[in-house]
Amino acid sequence: MNINVLVVDDEKPLREFVRRNLEVRGYKVACAANGLEALAIFQNEPVQLVIMDIMMPHMDGLEATRRIRDESHVPIIILTAMGEETDKVRAFDLGADDYLTKPFGVGELLGRIKAVLRRADWAGTVSGGGRIVRGEVEVDIEKHQVRVRGEAVELTPTEFNLLVYLMKNAGKTLHHRAILQHVWGPEYSHEAEYLRVYMGRLRQKIESNPLKPVYLHTEHGVGYRFEG
């Protein structure tokens, strides 16, 4: 296992705690005390996972996340001391894949890291191959390519997995929990927030008018359905 992890936190004890735990479990860890340092490291070293605090001097975690997301699909886990809904949503909006609320234990940390890495592995979750075409949405599962109305659309692995899962079950209403368990993993079955944010992002990328979706329909209180 040769995974490089970038840990960004202005609090040295916490940074050290993450580093020590990951190193002892075979990850390669780079540390940064703020966003600017993190970006510098990200640009110079291969990184497979970023763990980032939000509140930091000079450049905070959200800004750093946004900038990393501009260049890469690398999975990002956000650390927050707030635990507030708005922060989560903002983090997801900026492209974070997961988050952890302080304080958290080693078990939680490792679990999230594993789940995020699993989702980031394209072939790991999407079984089978070939193409799925539903309406104007074309998905090439082998190549991880998505075309909508003839144009290529960039999706993160999680977004891609979510879309493929919905398209494979087109016409069926899928329950929140089923989608979460299938796309994110069993431990995420209650994180409806994730699903909502990702559905929003998928609509932004696929629907011509996200306010009046044609493909991705919401069944209030139940789940979602792909129509094509």
Partner 1 sequence: MRRWLAFHRDLGLQLFALYLLLIVPFLVTLWAFDGLIGVRIRRDVQASNLALAQSISQEVNLAIAKALNTVAGLSTYEGVIKADEAAMGEIFNLVLATSPEVNLVYRLGPNGIMLYHAPTGPGSTVGVDFSFRDYFQAALLTDQPLVSLGRISPTTNQAVATAVMPLWSDDGVFLGLIGANIRLESLSQTLTAVISEHQIEEGLQVVILDAANQIIAYPDPQYLLHPAQDIIPEGYLVNFNGENDSQIASAPQGEERLYTRASIPNIHWQVIVSRPTAAAFATQIILRRIVLVAAGTFILIGLFFWGMLTVRVIHPIERLVPISEAIGLNQPISPPDQRYLFTESKRSDQIGNLIQSIIGMRDSIQERIREQATLLETSTAVVSSLDTETVLNRILEQMGRLLQIKMYAVIALDETNGSFRIRASRGLSKQFTEQLSIQPSEPDSVTMRALHVHEPVQVSDTETDPSYAIRKHRARLEGFRAVLAVPLNTKHAPPTALLVFHPTPHIFTANEIQLLTSFANHAAMAIEHAVLFERSDMRLREQTQRLEALVESLHDGLILTDLHGKIIYANKRIGELAELDIKNLSGMHADQILARIIEKASDPPARHKPPHNLLKTGGESKMEITCTLQNQTVHLRLEVFSVNDEQGTPIGHGILFHDITADWELDRVRSSLVSTVSHELRTPLAAIKGYVSTMLADDVEWDHASQREFLTIISDETDRLTSLVNNLLDLSRIEAGSLKLSMEKCNTETVIRNAAKEARLSPQNIFKVSIAPKAAALYADRLRLESILRNLIENSVKYAGETATIKVEVERSAGEIVFRVKDNGPGIPLKEKEHVFERFYRVDEGLTRPTSGAGLGLTICQGLVTAHGGRIWVEPQLEGACIAFTIPVKSRTATSAVRRTRSNEHQRSGRGRRKAPA
Please identify, among the stretches 21-29, 135-143, 145-153, 154-162, the one whose residues bind partner 1 according to the rule CB under 8 A. Answer: 21-29
Does residue 13 have a cis peptide bond before it, meaning omega lies within 30 degrees of 0?
A: no
CB-based contact 51:32 (threshold 8 Å): no
Please identify, among the stretches 104-112, 130-138, 144-152, 160-168, the one whose residues bind partner 1 according to the rule CB under 8 A. Answer: 104-112
Contact flag: residue 3 with partner 1 (CB under 8 A): no
Contact flag: residue 81 with partner 1 (CB under 8 A): yes
Nearer to partner 1, 73 or 112 (CB): 112
* Contact set for partner 1, span 105-124 (CB under 8 A): 105-107
Least distance from partner 1 to the Cβ atom of residue 38, Å:
14
Cβ count near 10 (within 10 Å): 18
Nearer to partner 1, 33 or 148 (CB): 33
SS3 153: strand
Nearer to partner 1, 115 or 179 (CB): 115
SS3 79: strand
CB-based contact 97:75 (threshold 8 Å): yes
**Long-range Cβ contacts of 203-209 (<8 Å, 24+ apart):** 205/148, 205/153, 205/154, 205/155, 205/159, 206/137, 206/148, 206/153, 206/163, 208/149
Least distance from partner 1 to the Cβ atom of residue 194, Å:
22
Contact flag: residue 69 with partner 1 (CB under 8 A): no
* Interface residue with partner 1, options 4, 17, 72, 196 (CB under 8 A): 17
Least distance from partner 1 to the Cβ atom of residue 82, Å:
6
* Contact set for partner 1, span 169-228 (CB under 8 A): none
Least distance from partner 1 to the Cβ atom of residue 21, Å:
6
SS3 147: strand
* Interface residue with partner 1, options 70, 85, 103, 186 (CB under 8 A): 103
CB burial readout 178-196, b (16+ within 10 A) else e = bbbebbbbeebbebeebbe
- Tokens 């002892």 label which residue? 24
Binding footprint of partner 1 on the chain (CB under 8 A) = 10-14, 16-18, 20-21, 24-25, 33, 54-63, 79, 81-84, 102-107
